[in-house]
Amino acid sequence: MSAAPATDAAPLLELRGIGKRYRMGETDVDALRGVDLAIARNEYVAFIGPSGSGKTTLMNIVGCLDRPSSGSYLLNGQRVADLDDNALARIRNREIGFVFQNFNLLGRADALHNVMQPLVYRGVKLRERRQLAAAALADVGLGDRLDHRPNQLSGGQRQRVAIARALVGKPSILLADEPTGNLDSTTAREIMAMFAALHRSGNTIILVTHDAEVAAHAERTVAIRDGQVISDTRRMAEEAAHGAAG
């Protein structure tokens, strides 16, 4: 699907000196100031920080929704910092799977068609799209809800549809922005357990949150404040598993 599998030595994603400057009226605001970060395949990373810290900007750049003002970004061996809109769309389609706080499902489409949508932009044929999407929904336990529209599903089910949609194209990175922010605690635990399982089965996951409890599920936590990485801590696998349970 993606480029030749990188060796373990080469990181899946490498940010070097990433800066992002916005123009707010008369003044320039630096949302990111020189972020260096490397993430390997099959890592489970949390970006944590309060609102305004720049973590969302960082996620947008990692997710190829936005371009950095400075620095370089290598994703799966491709330089993406200076690609044009179409190339970025292609990378979003093939390399990134987004999961959003508010699910961002297409309201008029049923679960199956929501999950089929990314494959449309990849030019996958209808029959195959159906099969892949149905399989992805079965994987998240919604095999019997294919024809339900988002408004006929509970919050947890909606988020699972969103996860199926993010994973259906077998992306390099699953990028989740406050995935439990709109869910009750029981459902949130289910979703976090699902992320843990996805990680165990080999997916690379980046979680963006302001909630330390949620971030504790990840095996690596990157704390961001004022546009800079202020700490980058790893835990042992067992410890992370414990965090998920606790």
Partner 1 sequence: MARLAEALRAAIGAIRAHLLRAALTVLGMVIGVAAVIAVVALLQGFGQSITQQFRNLGANGLVITAYLPQKAALEGKTARITPDDLLAIRQRVAGVRDVVPLLPLAQFSAEVRYGNRSSNTSVSGTTSGFPRNGARYPVQGRFVVAGDDTTRRPVAVIGQTLIKDLHLPARPEGHFIQLFGAWFKVVGVLNKVGTLVGLIDRDNLIYIPYTTAVSLSGTQTAPNIVIQLDVDNTRAIKPVEARITAVLRRQHHLLPGAEDDFKIQSAAELTKALTRALDSASLILGAIVGISLLVGGVGIMNVMLVSVTERTREIGIHKSLGATRADILLQFLLEAVLLSLLGGLVGLALGYGIGKLVVHLVPAFAGAIVPGWTIALSLGFTAAVGLVFGITPAAKAAALDPIEALRYE
Note the residues at the interface with partner 1 (CB under 8 A): 60, 63, 65-66, 85-86, 89-90, 92-94, 98, 100, 104-109, 117-118, 120-126, 165
Cβ neighbourhood burial of 130 (10 Å; 0-12, 13-18, 19+)? middle
Give the nearest distance from C-beta 95 to partner 1 in angstroms.
9
Cβ neighbourhood burial of 82 (10 Å; 0-12, 13-18, 19+)? exposed
Q: Which residues pair with 42 in a beta bridge?
A: none
- Residue 203 to residues 150, 216, 219, 224: CA-CA distances in angstroms? 26, 18, 13, 23
> How many residues belong to the chain?
246
What b/e readout covers 3-27, taking b as 16+ CB neighbours within 10 angstroms? eeebeeeebbbbbeebebeeeeeee
Give the nearest distance from C-beta 123 to partner 1 in angstroms.
5
Give the nearest distance from C-beta 146 to partner 1 in angstroms.
17
E-strand ranges in 43-168 read 44-48, 70-75, 78-79, 96-99
Give the nearest distance from C-beta 93 to partner 1 in angstroms.
2
Q: Which is nearer to partner 1, 169 or 243 (CB)?
A: 169
- Residue 129 to residues 2, 22, 122: CA-CA distances in angstroms? 18, 39, 10
Q: Which is nearer to partner 1, 20 or 41 (CB)?
A: 20
Cα angle 94, 63, 181; round to 5? 115
Q: Is 174 within 8 Å of 203 (Cβ atoms)?
A: yes
Q: Which is nearer to partner 1, 64 or 142 (CB)?
A: 64
Give the nearest distance from C-beta 165 to partner 1 in angstroms.
7
Q: Which is nearer to partner 1, 21 or 220 (CB)?
A: 21
Q: Which is nearer to partner 1, 8 or 23 (CB)?
A: 23
Q: Is 49 within 8 Å of 231 (Cβ atoms)?
A: no
Q: Which is nearer to partner 1, 126 or 237 (CB)?
A: 126
Q: Which is nearer to partner 1, 40 or 89 (CB)?
A: 89
Give the nearest distance from C-beta 57 to partner 1 in angstroms.
9
Give the nearest distance from C-beta 52 to partner 1 in angstroms.
15
Residue 35 to residue 63: CA distance in whole angstroms: 15
